[in-house]
Amino acid sequence: MLLSKRLSCIAALIDDQAQTLIDIGYDHGHLLHWAAQQEFQCIVGIEVTDHFADRYRTLYGDDVELRTGDGLGPIKDFDKSDCVVIAGLGEERIRQILDAGKALLENIDQIIVCPSSRDFKLHAFMRTQGWYADQEELIDENQRLYCVSSFRTGRESCADETILSIAPRIYECDREQFDIYKQQLQERRLI
Ligand SMILES: C[S@@+](CC[C@H](N)C(=O)[O-])C[C@H]1O[C@@H](n2cnc3c(N)ncnc32)[C@H](O)[C@@H]1O
């Protein structure tokens, strides 16, 4: 399975030791099917509506487990999830999903997000839950920069609220890229 640049970046950020991978909002299932060809022991896709599962099974068979439901709810029976991916949804929706499922966050080691649109409140929300972005990447797809953030439990070190809201690890690791991203967000009147 050849992944898009954005999904390849997400795949590259998944912890090497991860055994359980959850993809919330898998849609076309590209990440799930890629994962099925790797060494994960447990791969679960979650979608709000049923027909995505039928489409996936028609295309790829039964190589992963598919559950229908809202956000983290369908994995409430899991004692531990190594990595949860939530990509291609708006940042506000991602935050709502994590907020609604916050009792389950302690069972998760890593959360990778790539919002399709941003409201710049996710990092601050994650900080309130005791999480911080340990790695971030910017991906240029369709002439737009997408921010991919990997979160882990721990203390957020960025004290500047504006930088925190945009992409604190990009700011620290690649100032030039951060400035290009910020300028793009300003041109699109998002910040
Ligand atoms: C645009 S697709 C993203 C597909 C893929 N994750 C990607 O990044 O390319 C967003 C998907 O999220 C699903 N979705 C939206 N809200 C959801 C929720 N609360 N729980 C599970 N899936 C959800 C939608 O049905 C849709 O298929």
Q: What domains are defined for the chain?
A: 5-187 (3.40.50.150)
Residue with CA at minimum distance from ligand 1 atom 14: 25
Average pLDDT for 64-75: 96
Average pLDDT for 36-64: 96
Cβ(27) – ligand 1 distance below 6 Å: yes
Contact 158, 117 (CB under 8 A): no
Cβ(46) – ligand 1 distance below 6 Å: yes
Kindly give the pairing relationship between strand 81-87 and strand 42-47. Answer: unpaired
Q: What is the pLDDT of residue 172?
A: 97
Ligand 1 pocket mutation, candidates 47, 52, 114, criterion most atoms within 8 A of CB: 47
Runs of H (alpha helix) within the chain: 5-13, 30-36, 51-60, 91-100, 122-128, 161-166, 168-173, 175-187
Q: What percent of the chain has pLDDT over 70?
A: 100
pLDDT band for 79, please (50, 70, 90 cuts).
confident
Contact 136, 149 (CB under 8 A): yes
Distance CA 91, CA 67 (A): 22
CA of 156 to the centre of ligand 1 (A): 27
CA of 170 to the centre of ligand 1 (A): 25
Residue 181, sorted as left (phi over 0), alpha (psi -120 to 50) or beta, turns out to be alpha
Average pLDDT for 43-71: 96
Q: What is the pLDDT of residue 142?
A: 87
Contact 113, 87 (CB under 8 A): yes
Work out the mean pLDDT of the chain and round it to a whole number: 96
Burial of 36 (0-12, 13-18, 19+ CB in 10 A): middle
pLDDT tens for residues 112-126?
999 999 999 999 999
Model confidence at 1: pLDDT above 80: no
Cβ(87) – ligand 1 distance below 6 Å: yes
Model confidence at 73: pLDDT above 90: yes
